[in-house]
Structure 1
């Protein structure tokens, strides 16, 4: 009986949901075991101790090979529990050595079974584990390869956003791995029409110049819906799809809304603000809120003609305040303290990104003259808000 994988349920729940739920499952399982076996104390306590120890060890698993290590750990815990229960109850097991061996084997079996059934539950019930997230973070994923070729500007934007939000998530205690991976995929909807987004435009021609403001707004807004569809096809998981759907909340595509209000056509001027707003919903979690902030601030930061630390800090706080005042963060768990920490983290990282190297004296003037026109042209182009 000591070889039975009593901790199987608790370990699986700890991986797929969280440790708190796993502890509840451990208690319920142990209680039921007390009605199943003749030894009303030994097996319930044995099950409960093993389940709790395994649940605390198994959180944040980043490699499938760790399951074997957890199994070995559980085997040792099982052996220790058998010895302790023997001393507490005062029973002298004639077959103590056999029971110790069965307890150790039971731990290994449990680790192997959890490693085998976790991917099944991930697939059947749309759970996403840290192991799955690490697999999705592989740059050889098909969607990444498509972005590199078809939408290189969006790819670069996503990489920078991931750097911002990962550091901020660690600073405020959010799931840094989830936000990192989600930021990689948050704009995959732009793959449907990459040239309509400013970061992917390789020439001075802007496709939006030939479209009405309403049509341009619809194309920009549609990248969220398109992204959710691509994410669903790629089986990225419910959490990532939710973040893609929420990362613009119900914000407005202000550039094309303002353009519509200045149009000569009365029918275009009469369009309402709701015609240029994303459908939402607003971010529901810290992770979704972080990606909304990182997305907006990374795009805005590239419009700075002279990104000094003071200007970067001012831009970051201005954008965060604007998003907060627009009510986009009302439904997520970010506090004012969190927002302050996020602002400081974003400022620090962006300052590092825009930090200019020190030029050698003999080449400084040459590079300055050669790049002046290039930077001015690039900054004017990047200032176009259809970055979305």
Structure 2
């Protein structure tokens, strides 16, 4: 007892209370209720709210185009207009606009205007606006006959050019193979661009024509006069061009006809086309307008109610069959987060609207593997079913996709039940691909899909199979390093007997070391028998007695060939030394950085059991001395009682291993002693705080008894009363 009146037991309980006190929020029913409600609400947000706008059984997915309709018969309740899809309308509009050409007004030359312009040009003599080298222009024009000849020649040339299509716009700027020509003589005429001359081509054509038809003495004069009189005959009509485009735009219908009331919109077995999708969507929109549906309580309840029904599959299972997980709000938060993430991925695969089957990339198998590794395979099974149903419901009742993901997730979960290596995760790739691939083939064949579509879906399933284990590995790594979560992969790092603590135990306390190995073997076999975490209990057994390193000589298994030091100590002091190996073990384990889940085995494998050998010795001394009986609390371990199945298994395996050293290897006597050990702990309430059933206790007892028979060597026992058979050693 300390100076403040506290005992070792009370001090240890005070030290452990903060760790246990963390259960405040972790076990609060209010937090649990809010967590469940938040999960349902978040998942419900991803469900389709307006069922009348897009009826789930009507809307074919993009990958169903060209396949046979698998849904029900859809018959129109009333007449409606089938609205053409926007992408189809835009495609038709581009085709029509591409068929329209720029419009030009054609204004050919008039002879009277040409004569007037030529006369004005010649009247500029004696200072014409041009010069002709080598010619006496004054003398040529002074001669009336030569002047008339030049005038006739120029007018003849321009009269021919006046009937051509000449534009002042460079042809490369027109950007069309043809143009539309409008004139008073005809309404519209389509002209190939090769028939049109721009300014440069017109000058070249005039020069060539002069060279062919005019005598050499007059060629330069005629060309110079013709060049001054040359002008365009085509003029771009921007207003008319725009009007034609608007008329063409208006000529394209925005609808694909009318569906009459009572007419079948689509029937099973029909090929799904763009027209089918347009008819279904137009009918859905017509229903929305007819019923004037508004977002109300009923609409919200449909999505949230659907999500609540699906989520209840997992929550009801946890509440009735996995109360340990259900009580722990932190574990419940992890499951809820996984469900919301899967729901988000399912919604994204639907909302993106890609022609690729993105729904097969929902990494539900990764979620299944994480749950199986961190919790157990049965919980992973129910979590997989719940997540798959969420994806199916969010995707408008796409339960074929839900079944594909469900089968892949289940196989993924069972492939990591007994994880022994990180490389084992990648073995899961094959089983995920097998499950999803078989389901994809079955549903694709039933829907009559083409082979290219089937291969695409199988490829997406293969991509999911490759990605899911990698995602699982990343999540586990994050949980291990960031949140100190102990997975089987992390336990493998502590399962080696080369750990410094275990090597020190072998050197300083060889009897305890050998006891540790025997207990680990017995506990692992028992854990496998009931589906508990065998690796966790084996690693926990390795370190459960490391506290004996401080005073190994005070423990029976290390007293071979030496006197029992407890013979010279009062019972209360001996009990205090025995109990100290728990506190010493906790401090030693924490100093070496062992994970909390391993440290928990040190106090829990003894629970609050009575150190019976010294308790009986103290009672006997008090009786002989006529004093008051000792306080039982001074002879009990500080606890806490086992909180998990694994800790309870280790408690029984620890006692069972001790029996093998005080009893002969006779199955009947070993069985009777083991039954007494189990009965004593049940009556003492040691299993009240762990989820261990009587059926599991029977299986554990069978495995322990089988393992005990294989252990033959005897051990030195403390000198106790006749109760030694029931409590054969002081750990």
Give the alignment's Cα RMSD to 1 decimal.
3.7
CA distance in 2, matches of 1:311, 1:30: 52
Counterpart CA distance in 2 for 1:45 and 1:345 is 38
Give 1:249 shift: 1.6
Moved more, 46-55 or 101-110: 46-55
| 1:232–1:241 Cα contact (<8 Å) kept | yes
- Distance (Å, rounded) in 2 between the aligned partners of 1:301 and 1:209: 24
Residue 307 of structure 1 and its aligned partner are, at CA, apart by: 5.0
Q: Deviations over 1:87-124 (max 9, x none)?
A: 34445475543443333133112222323332332343
Indicate conservation of the 8 Å contact 1:198/1:382, yes or no: no
Give the match for residue 114 of structure 1: 472
Aligned residue number for residue 415 of structure 2:
57
- C-alpha distance in 1 between matches for 2:422 and 2:460: 24
The equivalent residue for 2:649 is 290
TM-score by length of 1: 0.77
Query: Higher strand fraction: Structure 1 or Structure 2?
Result: 2
Q: Given the alignment, which residue of 197, 201, 208 partners 2:555?
A: 197
Q: Name which of 1, 17, 24 aligns with 2:375.
A: 17
Tell me which of 437, 457, 461 is aligned to 1:103. 461
Matches within 5 A, 1:199-348: 199-201=557-559, 204-209=562-567, 211-263=569-621, 271-304=630-663, 308-334=666-692, 338-339=696-697, 341-348=699-706
| Cα distance, 1:39 vs structure 2 | 11
- Residue among 425, 440, 455 paired with 1:67: 425
Residue 272 of structure 1: CA displacement? Answer: 0.6
Pair 160,41 (structure 1): closer, same or farther in 2 beyond 3 Å: closer
Comparing 236-245 with 61-70, which one deviates more in the overlay?
236-245
More displaced stretch, 103-112 vs 232-241: 232-241
Separation of aligned partners in 1, 2:404 and 2:477: 27
Rounded to whole Å, the distance in 2 between the matches of 1:270 and 1:85 is 76
Distance 1:68 1:171, change over 3 A: closer
CA distance in 2, matches of 1:325, 1:299: 20
Q: 1:353 to 1:129 in 2, by over 3 A?
A: same
How many residues of Structure 1 are paired with residues of Structure 2 in the alignment?
366
Q: Which runs of 5+ in 2 are unaligned?
A: 1-357
Supply the distance in 2 between the matched residues of 1:40 and 1:320 (Cα, whole angstroms): 52
Report how far residue 314 of structure 1 moved.
3.9
Write out per-residue CA displacement over residues 264-323 of structure 1, whole angstroms, 9 at most, x where no aligned residue. 89899653111111122222343322222222232243234x554444344333333333
Deviates more, 1:282-291 or 1:21-30: 21-30
User: Partners of 2:588 and 2:719 in 1: how far apart?
Assistant: 27
2:393/2:399 contact within 8 Å kept: no
Superposed displacement of residue 173, structure 1: 4.9
With 141-150 and 56-65 compared, the bigger mean Cα shift is at: 56-65
Residues 14 and 302 of structure 1, relative CA distance in 2, 3 Å threshold: closer
Q: For 1:349 and 1:24, locate their aligned partners in 2 and report how far apart those are by CA, in whole Å.
A: 34
Shift of 1:238: 4.2
CA distance in 2, matches of 1:234, 1:96: 55
Return the match for 2:500 from 135, 142, 146: 142
Instruction: Give, in whole Å, the separation in 1 of the partners of 2:668 and 2:388.
Output: 59
Whole-Å separation in 1 of the counterparts to 2:661 and 2:513: 15
The answer to whether residue 497 in structure 2 is matched with residue 151 in structure 1 is no
Q: Distance in 2 between matches of 1:200 and 1:213?
A: 19
Aligned ranges for residues 38-53 of structure 1 at < 5 Å? 44=402, 46-53=404-411
8 A contact 2:365–2:468 mirrored in 1: yes
TM-score calculated relative to the size of structure 2 = 0.44
- 2:543 is matched with 185
Render the CA deviation track for 1:304-346: whole Å, top value 9, x for unaligned: 4x55444434433333333333333344455555555545544
User: Structure 2 residue aligned with 1:352, among 699, 710, 726?
Assistant: 710
Larger helix fraction of residues: 1
Is residue 387 of structure 1 aligned with residue 730 of structure 2? yes
Quickly say closer, same or farther: Cα 1:17–1:334, change in 2 above 3 A.
closer
User: Greater shift after overlay, 293-302 or 206-215?
Assistant: 206-215
**Cα distance between partner residues in 1 of 2:472 and 2:500:** 28
